[in-house]
Amino acid sequence: MMTTMQAMVLDAAHVPLRQAELPMPQPGPDQVLLRIAACGVCRTDLHIVDGELTEPKLPLVLGHEIVGRVEAIGEGSEGFAIGDRVGVPWLGFTDGSCFYCRNGQENLCDHARFTGYQIDGGYASHTVADARYAFHLPDAYTDAEAAPLLCAGLISYRSLRMTGEAKRLGIYGFGAAAHIVAQVARYQGRRIFAFTRPGDVTAQDFARELGAEWAGGSDEAPPEALDAAIIFAPIGALVPAALKAVRKGGVVVCGGIHMSDIPRFPYELLWEERVICSVANLTRQDADEFLALAPKVPVRTTVVPFPLAEANMALDRLRHGEVTGAAVLIP
């Protein structure tokens, strides 16, 4: 039995992660101990490292797109056997009793705790996870391919649902989340219009490969008015841009956890019943639905693997928009 594990540790914002050997965690009640096979790198991780999300536990092991296998089972833990493959997402704990939990919105729980933020996550060789918030994963995916489903997939699925029946769908920011949601949206018969950083030909080509019928810069107008738009890029200036691109009654969904300030804009852009909303976290029902749907589409994930020890490089590449698809750490 190993007594230590490898991890990349965040000691403070704005400081590179530190490679460390930590004591092997033991699964407590309701928990399982996982040997990690892959962990996705999410933009949220960058927001934590860059100090834009201000309440991480420290020191912290980042990572909330964890794919691992059960090595030990804590007291009372149900649903998984030794050796089972398990997916661990961002939502790590809810109180089950607050107003939101009682009303089917556990994503907004007053006492929620999140993996890789208040709970140590998957930038490591091992972790413990609460089995009540973990999932079996579809067999059609390798470990690395499955990792991005757990946040990029889940959050983008929730974002897509908030666009209702929108047929002409704009997507701002064509990274990990967009590359998954575009496939689901096409499967549902929607038309995709992809907006990238101006001049990012690689991302625009990638968007077209995944079914976008139009791809251009975020400073461009789409060829026709959109029914809805989802903004994944963390740039507030895209909100008025997207409002301009949607028709009367259109919806603009902000899919990220953090965004730079939204610049002031004339009321006229919101007028005529346009709607702006945000998407926060996920519910376990979102995960059940999306993980059942993904292999039917079938969603294919494009992953760029990095050794665990190169987590800082993976974050840097993501920061500079240099990852096509989703970065995944392999311990």
Q: Which residues of this chain interact with Zn ion, rule CB under 5 A?
A: 42, 44, 94-95, 98, 101, 109, 151
Rounded Cα distance between 175 and 61, Å, is 23
CB-nearer residue toward Zn ion: 156 or 204: 156
Other Cβ atoms closer than 10 A to 150: 30
Burial zone of 272 (CB within 10 Å; 0-12 exposed, 13-18 middle, 19+ buried): exposed
Name the residue among 62, 36, 54 with its Cα closest to residue 315: 62
Whole-number minimum distance, CB 105 to Zn ion, in Å? 9
Tell me whether residue 42 or residue 254 sits nearer to Zn ion (CB atom).
42
> Amino acid identity of 284?
R
Decide: helix, strand or coil at residue 289: helix
The C-alpha angle 297, 290, 65, rounded to 5 degrees, equals: 110
Which residue, 110 or 209, is less far from Zn ion as judged by CB?
Answer: 110
Burial class for 292, CB neighbours closer than 10 Å (0-12, 13-18, 19+): exposed
Q: How far is the CB of 208 from Zn ion (least distance, A)?
A: 25
| Distance in Å, CB of 205 to Zn ion, minimum | 25
Closest CA to 174 of 147, 225, 212: 212
**For Zn ion, the closer CB: 166 or 323:** 323
Amino acid of residue 107: N
Compute the least distance from the CB of residue 118 to Zn ion, in Å. 14
Phi–psi pair at 301, nearest 5 degrees: -100, 140
> Is the N-terminal amide bond of 298 cis, ω within 30° of 0?
yes
Nearer Cβ to Zn ion (215/287): 287
Closer Cβ to Zn ion, 96 or 223, answer by number: 96
Please say which residue, 72 or 109, places its beta carbon nearer to Zn ion.
Answer: 109
Which residue matches tokens 């997507």?
171
| Minimum CB distance to Zn ion smaller for 96 or for 164 | 96
- Shortest Å, Cβ 42 to Zn ion: 3
CB of 243 vs Zn ion, minimal distance in Å: 25
Q: Which two tokens stand for residue 215?
A: 């791809």
Nearest distance from C-beta of residue 215 to Zn ion, angstroms: 24
Specify whether the CB–CB gap between 137 and 291 falls below 8 A. Answer: yes
* 190 CB-near residues (< 8 Å, 6+ apart): 166, 167, 168, 169
In whole angstroms, the minimum distance from the beta carbon of 88 to Zn ion comes to 12
